[in-house]
Every structure is written in structure tokens, then in C-alpha cells.
Amino acid sequence: MKPTYIYLTTALAIVLIILVNLSGSFVNTRFDTTREGLYSLTQTSYDILERLQEPVEITHFYIAADPRFRPTLELLREYERRSPLITSRAYDINTNPSIARNMGVTFHGTTIIRMGDRVEEVSGGDEVSITNGIYRMLGLSSRTIYFTGGHGEYDIFSTVSEDHLEGEGDDDRPIFLHESRGFAKFRERLELMGHEVDKIFLAGNQQVPDDADLVVIVSPAEDFLPSEIASLEQYLQDGGRLFVMLDAFRDGGLGDLLRQYGISPQNDLVIDFGNHFWNDATSPATGTYTRHPITERLPLTFFPGVQSLEAVDPLPDGVQVTTLFSSTSRSMAVQN
């Protein structure tokens, strides 16, 4: 090989390295390659950070002996990357006791969020806790959402166990295993948006709480009692909001109540040969929706084990029904 060619190749390699380093100094970009996006913020957090109009300082206290502090430190860097108005600091509470004492902090895992004269203290260094604290400081209105219990519904307080993933070059990176029929992750997203979330049991002539902005029923396996349905009916008559999710073949005894509002569950199973997830025709998929605020920015979604709904004809007085999406013309419904 000629010396001139070797010199030229070496020079080009050096120039390429310089260009890469220069581009890295001007572009604040990071790639999260972890399986669960452990070190990335959700879109909800992005939306809240875009509302900031003044600087926010986040201070987190940890102990170095606890390996769980590392994801928090990386998360704080991501907040800074996503908003120029955010600065963060982290202190080992054992080696910086005076700083913790001056900020009124006693326990490790505490995060102090300061914006002007406003201060929020949250317990935890996870995204839900930190973004929720920022949300409260912005004074954004929250909602109180109740999920029903007692009928085999999905549980918003389901258990989440922590394990560690091996073989990916990060010995301390945790993974989270969620309980079957668990809705804990969904509850965290609602809390991330600043909403208050709780569970209610309507058995025994209990009424829906007065502060309920929304009641959610998630796939009941057993029927609601007549007294419980009466409580829901009274709540709706008083202007309440109800969101019902049903599995195939059962309506939880809510059919008559829903028909009063123009929706008739068919207690069947939809099979769509025209559009479905992979090779499972019992998981209809759709990427086409009616233009509506609910469906705005929705990607392709699929619905395993979904039953069909029909609009009541004629509709009750004062009721309007909007179909947000439909299965294809190659779909059918089976009763068993």
C-alpha cells in the first residue's frame, strides 16, 4: 500500500472524528436503548415541561449505598435536556447533612422542587413524582377519578415487583413485573398528569363521592348489584361522567343502564379478518378514527377480545352517540 494512500486515509479518519465531536457539542441528543425506556421521559412529561415559563430547580437527596439512585440521576439529566428552564442537583444525604437540614429534608429519596417562591416536596425520584410536583406548581387543575371495585375489575392498585435484567451490560438496571389484570401503570400515568385516583366500592347502598369527576369501570367479571347500578344512575343524572370498558361475552349487568344513554352492548366477540394484530383475527386493529378530541394523535391500536356495541334506535331524548372507530367489512361477531 502506498504511503500517500495511508496518510490520506488517516487524515480523513481524523477529520471524521473531529466532525462527529463537533456535532455532538452542538446537538443535545441522547438515545435510550433500554428495553423499557427507563431513562426517557413520557410524552405527558414533555407536554407539561412545555408549559414552564420560569426557571425550576430540582434537588434530590439519595444515599450512595442504594443502587436505585442511579436511574434518578439519569432522569434528572433528561429533565435538563428537555427544558432549558430546569436545573437539577443531587446530594448524598449522608455526606451533605447540612444541605439536607437547611432544606428541611430528613429522609433519602426526597425531591425538592422550587419555582420562584413556590416549593414542592415529593417522596421519590421517579418520573411520576417529579412531574406531578411540577404539575402542581403550575397550578393546573386536576381531576378526581374513581375506579370501581368488587366485581373482578382490573386493579389500579395492583402489585409491581422489581427484578434486575442480566446480560445487557448494566448489572444494576431494574425491570418491573406487573401483576396480571393489573392497572398500576395506568394509574401512574393519570397521577403523572396530576389527577387524584382512588377506588370505590358501591355495594351496601354506597353513593358515588361528590368530588368524582369521572367513574371508570374496567372489565367487570361479575354483575353489579341493582343498588350499585342505582348509585351509578343517580350519579349520571346529576351530571356525572362514566367510562366503561367491557370484555367479550359480558356486560357486568350494566346493559340496561348503558342503553339509557344510547349504547347497547352485544355480549359477543368481534372477529375481524380484514384488519387484525398479527395472525389473530380476535384482536381487531384500526388506524382510522372519527375526527374527535378523544382520537387525536392515536396511532394504530388493536383490541384483543373486544365485544361489539350498537347505537340504540331510536336514541333516547337528549342523547347523542358518536362512533369513534369500526371494524372492517370483513368482520363478524360470534356468541360463544
In degrees and rounded to multiples of 5, residue 284 shows phi and psi of: -55, 140
Note the pTM of the prediction, 2 decimals. Answer: 0.66
End-to-end CA distance of the chain: 75
Q: What is the pLDDT along the chain (336 residues), one digit of tens a residue?
A: 555 555 555 555 555 555 444 444 333 444 443 444 445 788 889 989 999 999 999 999 999 888 878 889 999 999 999 999 999 999 999 999 999 999 989 889 999 999 998 888 888 888 988 998 898 888 766 789 999 999 999 999 998 776 665 555 555 566 777 788 889 888 988 887 778 999 999 998 899 999 999 999 999 999 999 999 999 999 999 999 999 999 999 999 999 999 999 999 999 999 999 999 999 999 999 999 999 888 887 889 999 999 999 999 999 999 999 999 999 999 999 998
pLDDT of residue 137: 85
In angstroms, rounded to a whole number, what is the distance separating the alpha carbons of residues 251 and 192? 30
Q: What is the pLDDT of residue 29?
A: 40
pLDDT at 191 (0 to 100) = 81
Query: What residues contact residue 120 under an 8 Å CB cut-off, 6+ apart?
Result: 112, 113, 114, 133, 134, 136, 137
Ordered domains of the chain (ranges, CATH): 43-137 (3.40.30.10), 143-245 (3.40.50), 262-336 (no CATH)
Cell of 289: 378514527
Residues 6+ apart with CB under 8 A from 2: none
Q: What pLDDT sits at residue 167?
A: 52
Give the per-residue pLDDT at 244. 97
Distance set, CA 71 to CA 37, 67, 76 (Å): 11, 8, 9
**Confidence at residue 34, expressed as pLDDT on a 0 to 100 scale:** 47
